[in-house]
Amino acid sequence: MISCANPKSQFQSYQNEIEEAVLKVLRGNRYILGDEVKLLEDEFAAFIGVNSAIGVANGTDALELALRALGIGSGDEVITVSHTAVATVAAIEAAGAVPVLVDINSDYFTLDPNQLQNALTPKTKAVIAVHLYGQPADLEAIDRFCSKNGLSLIEDCSQAHGAKWSGSRVGSIGHLGCFSCYPTKNLGAIGDAGLVVTNDEEIAKKVRMLREYGWHRRFISDVAGRNSRLDELQAAILRVKLRHLDADNAKRGAIAVQYSQGLDRLSVRLPEIRENADAVFHLYVLRSQERQNLISHLNKHNIQAGIHYPVPIHLQPAYKNRIRTARDMSVTEKISEEVISLPVYPELTSSDVAQVIKAVNSYRSSPAS
């Protein structure tokens, strides 16, 4: 079976480096927020091109703490999209704020800036731009809207480690950037982990305090914080993988090129890439009006495809009829019925990609096979 994602294969690629890094931590005497975390924070900040990076427990916490560091909470509204991981909206609610969901662009699957004005109210405090599937959102238009209206811009980069917008790494353009390092991500730990990045030293200081009980001095809570600490083992593993991230993203890009050149455009709609954007293909996402039949067809050919995401957040049981949305969510709702993610990870071989291409292309001629 060709898996949609295979984090174990990346461990095997860097097994000696990872095991050496883990063993160093195990033989040390600091397992939470120690030297490995500090080194990761410094190295990741340099990689993104910002002044500060702060390690936290996971990507959801990264978003929540970013909002809280900006002073966003009860009664405040935050605009984002419904076509995203539930974590984006869960983080807004965890901070005490109110999510307001808008539609996406049909070509790029990211927030449609034309929707922002109608979602704006006096309670709006921030916009979370989600760089979905490794594709940067339209940061120029979104940042312009935020600047005009005095809003904070938070980048949800959980699927876009290393992607660029107009030559700058995503995460470096908004007030803060938030990253998940879940095992399947482009920069994935072997467990949960997350990072917040910013150029604002005061905001960075607040995030550091919030991740550990509001401490600036140990055992003294200057603000009401919580526990979202990054452990040394995950930091050590991420430091190893960060050294290889650009090369691994290049491998993802080569797989995407092979797909785009080989897939039959009459059978499926291929992903498009924005001008001024360097995508990193966390996922390679097609559109098919016969998605379930295509997935079944691929399964018969020992290929595992995924769906990211099958139900928009505003239609899920926990949120339906409870969260304010744009009047028209038709693009989100249509895309959620059509998207299908093909296997993409750095260790996927060219022959495996060719096998996937052959299977997808054979569906059109024999959909019942």
pLDDT of 286 reads 97
**Measured distance CA(220)–CA(199) in Å, rounded:** 26
DSSP result, 206-265: HHHHHTBTTEEETTEESS---B-PPBHHHHHHHHHHHHTHHHHHHHHHHHHHHHHHHS-T
Residue 308 contacts residue 285 (beta carbons within 8 Å): yes
For the stretch 68-71, contacts whose Cβ atoms lie closer than 8 Å and that sit 24 or more positions apart, written own/partner, are 68/95, 68/206, 68/210, 69/176, 69/196, 69/203, 69/206, 69/207, 69/210, 70/125, 70/126, 70/152, 70/154, 70/175, 70/176, 70/203
pLDDT in tens, the chain (369 residues): 999 999 999 999 999 999 999 999 999 999 999 999 999 999 999 999 999 999 999 999 999 999 999 999 999 999 999 999 999 999 999 999 999 999 999 999 999 999 999 999 999 999 999 999 999 999 999 999 999 999 999 999 999 999 999 999 999 999 999 999 999 999 999 999 999 999 999 999 999 999 999 999 999 999 999 999 999 999 999 999 999 999 999 999 999 999 999 999 988 999 999 999 999 999 999 999 999 999 999 999 999 999 999 999 999 999 998 999 999 999 999 999 999 999 999 999 999 999 999 999 999 755 444
**Measured distance CA(204)–CA(191) in Å, rounded:** 24
Angstrom CA distances, 206 to 44, 61, 187, 299, stand at: 19, 14, 25, 48
Q: pTM, whole model, 2 decimals?
A: 0.97
Task: Please report, for the chain, the start and end positions of each structural domain, with discontinuous segments joined by +.
Answer: 7-103+111-243, 245-365
**Measured distance CA(193)–CA(327) in Å, rounded:** 36
pLDDT of 248 reads 98
Tokens, residue 111:
């927030």
State the CATH class of domain 245-365: alpha beta
Angstrom CA distances, 329 to 30, 81, 96, 201, 333, stand at: 49, 10, 24, 38, 6
**Measured distance CA(269)–CA(263) in Å, rounded:** 9
**Measured distance CA(251)–CA(257) in Å, rounded:** 10
pLDDT of 367 reads 46
**Measured distance CA(327)–CA(313) in Å, rounded:** 15
β-pairing verdict for 164-165 and 277-278: antiparallel
Residue 172 contacts residue 35 (beta carbons within 8 Å): no
φ/ψ (deg, to 5) at 231: -90, 160
Which helix H or strand E contains 364, and what residues bound it? helix 350-365
Residue with tokens 């499926």: 268
CATH number, span 7-103+111-243 = 3.40.640.10
Angstrom CA distances, 81 to 12, 151, 156, 175, 316, stand at: 36, 16, 11, 18, 14
Q: Which residues pair with 2 in a beta bridge?
A: 303
pLDDT of 267 reads 85
DSSP letter assigned to residue 141: H
DSSP result, 292-326: HHHHHHHHHTTB--B-S-SS-GGGSTTTTTTSEE-
Q: Which residues pair with 260 in a beta bridge?
A: none
